[in-house]
Amino acid sequence: MTLVSEPASFLQVRRAQPRAARGSVSSSAVKSRVYVAMLAFACVYAAIGGRLVLLAQMEEAPSKAWISAQDSVAASRPDLIDRNGEILATDIKTTSLYAEPRRILDVDEALEGLIRVLPDLDQNTVRRRLESGAGFVWLKREMTPHQAEQVHNLGLPGIGFLSENQRFYPGGPTAGHIVGSVNVDNQGLAGIEKYIDDAWLAELQSLGFASDRTIEPVRLSVDLRVQHVVRDELVKAMDRYRAIAAAGIVLDAKTGEVVAMSSLPDYDPNDRSQALEKDRLNRATGGVFEMGSVFKAFTVAMALDSGAVSINDSFDATRPIRAAGRTITDFHGKNRILSVPEIFIYSSNIGTAKMMLATGISRQQEFFKRLHLTERLKTELPENAAPLLPPKWNELAAMTISFGHGISVTPMQTAVAAAAVVNGGKLYPPTFLPRSQEEVQTVAKQVISPDVSRMMRYLFRLNVLSGSGRRADVPGYTVGGKTGTAEKIENGRYINNKRRNSFLSAFPMDDPRYVVLVVLDEPKSEREGIGATAGLNAAPTVGAIIRRSAPMLGVMPRFGKGDEPIEISY
């Protein structure tokens, strides 16, 4: 038994040894494979992590073009409001489409989708931008919400949106020439919009203080209600008298504040393309014209203020005046000696020219300069035209200037000078911003004597009661004014069938609060058999403006006995 058991134990021992050896080798191999797998996974995760870091860095460091675009669209503008707080211009949020061409995977796919949603895009231009390899390009500014949603649903890589500020003008064209307009980057191009940019907003934006923050509104001196009345009456007048253009101004005679100003044809600042049309220029401050007989008011005031002429004087208007080969006549001559009031209400060219000669050319030049009629009149609006003066201010030029020919000024200059003539003799530079009483006293300049101003108020009122301005009268408001009918010049010659008519007025004439000026370009007869002079079209237009706007301005009507309008005397 012993002999048999020994070999068995020996065999068991020998068989056991190879198993132990094989088990030891298998454990090492497993560990090696585990280490290799771990290393492989580590490399994969490192690669993924590195890619994520790279992508994160790309997101955190956008291109300079993208940053610039984001800054420009984020810049805010202040609301523009009228004197009563009504909004004239404000910012609204809109969406714009951009592309990052470097991230676009398939240009053809992107182009096809964009053109399908936005058919107004130019296909060649879009393709060129998408293939440019640039970091940032604009594709479409100021999209509608529906368009933005459609593009978003395309899911195109490299195509994105930016929310930007878009200027909105609730009143449309009502005060278009006053508020002006902005470009697609919300930068002022005209009107008050450009003024505030040049004055302070552009600098504020460059310093980063106008991005996504509320800026205090800019209050204007304009009354939106009166502005609507002026524009509405001008539209009606252009239609009734078939005029090609018109302008109207309401000016505060005691402060120089512009309460309303309209020029037709105008434009809607919400549609920038309209502002580029040449017929839509601002005629009230940006156009110069011969104003015709309204200038007789300035000549009479000059003559009276000089002391060379008194209101009781008379001048011979029986015959035309010959000067330098030219003949000066009256439109409806009385062919007799006329007093100063008669010269004014009958609008005598002969009498006015003789009053100027009695005063002198040098005095005329000095007086017109005093009224700012011979130099550019500055306002907050950038559209301010310089007057056109005669190349030689000789005797003939002086005589024609005395009744409004040979010198071209803006309607705003005419209104400002008229305010000084009737308000007691103080000239106030015009402004589209509210003026405090302290500022009013600071800017006021006495240009004629209060006594002469009082006499001019009498003449203005007399012309409405008994002269060419009768159709401008509004019961209870003692309106005064002067008509002007100026022939237009074509090819260097005056054309008698093309006129620019105007009516310069103020109310109430016993203590003028407001000056109203209306200019109609080439008005026609309202009906067959009547004329087309200023007394028949510009004067009633002014009357309609005063009738509607005076209650809004707080001017109460006043009546004397028997409800007759109160008259004034000199």
* Residue burial 105-132, b: 16+ Cβ < 10 Å; e: rest: eebeebbebbeebbeeeeeeebbebbee
| pLDDT at 10 (0 to 100) | 42
Asked whether the beta carbons of 534 and 484 are under 8 A apart, the reply is: yes
| pLDDT at 135 (0 to 100) | 82
Average pLDDT along the chain, 570 residues, taken 10 residues at a time = 44 46 57 73 73 51 48 71 96 86 86 89 88 85 85 87 86 96 88 91 65 79 98 98 97 98 96 85 95 96 96 94 88 90 95 96 97 95 95 95 95 98 97 96 96 97 95 96 91 85 97 97 89 94 98 89 50
Q: pLDDT, tens digit, for every residue of 37-95? A: 777 777 777 777 766 655 544 444 445 544 454 545 546 789 999 999 999 999 888 88
Asked whether the beta carbons of 452 and 304 are under 8 A apart, the reply is: yes
Instruction: Give me the helices (H) in 404-449, please.
Output: 411-422, 437-443
Q: What is the C-alpha separation between 459 and 137, in angstroms, rounded?
A: 66
Phi, psi (rounded to 5 degrees) for 269: -65, -15
Q: What is the C-alpha separation between 513 and 515, in angstroms, rounded?
A: 7
559 burial type by CB count under 10 A (0-12 exposed, 13-18 middle, 19+ buried)? exposed
| pLDDT at 210 (0 to 100) | 54
Asked whether the beta carbons of 497 and 549 are under 8 A apart, the reply is: no
Of 58, 381, 23, 451, the closest CA to residue 222 belongs to 381
Of 225, 251, 171, 205, the closest CA to residue 78 belongs to 205
* Peptide bond preceding 265 in cis form (omega within 30 of 0): yes
Could you give the C-alpha distances from 19 to 12, 16, 224, in angstroms and in order? 11, 5, 105
Q: What is the dihedral angle through the alpha carbons of 522, 525, 529, 533, rounded to the nearest 10 degrees?
A: -60
Domains of the chain: 76-207 (3.90.1310.10), 225-553 (3.40.710.10)
Asked whether the beta carbons of 299 and 400 are under 8 A apart, the reply is: no
DSSP conformational letter for 101: G
Q: What is the C-alpha separation between 258 and 514, in angstroms, rounded?
A: 10
| pLDDT at 489 (0 to 100) | 85
| pLDDT at 26 (0 to 100) | 61
Those residues whose C-beta lies under 8 Å from the C-beta of residue 384, and which sit 6 or more positions away, are 285, 286, 376, 377, 378, 410
Residues acting as catalytic residues: 293
Asked whether the beta carbons of 191 and 263 are under 8 A apart, the reply is: no
pTM of the model: 0.81
Phi, psi (rounded to 5 degrees) for 163: -85, 125
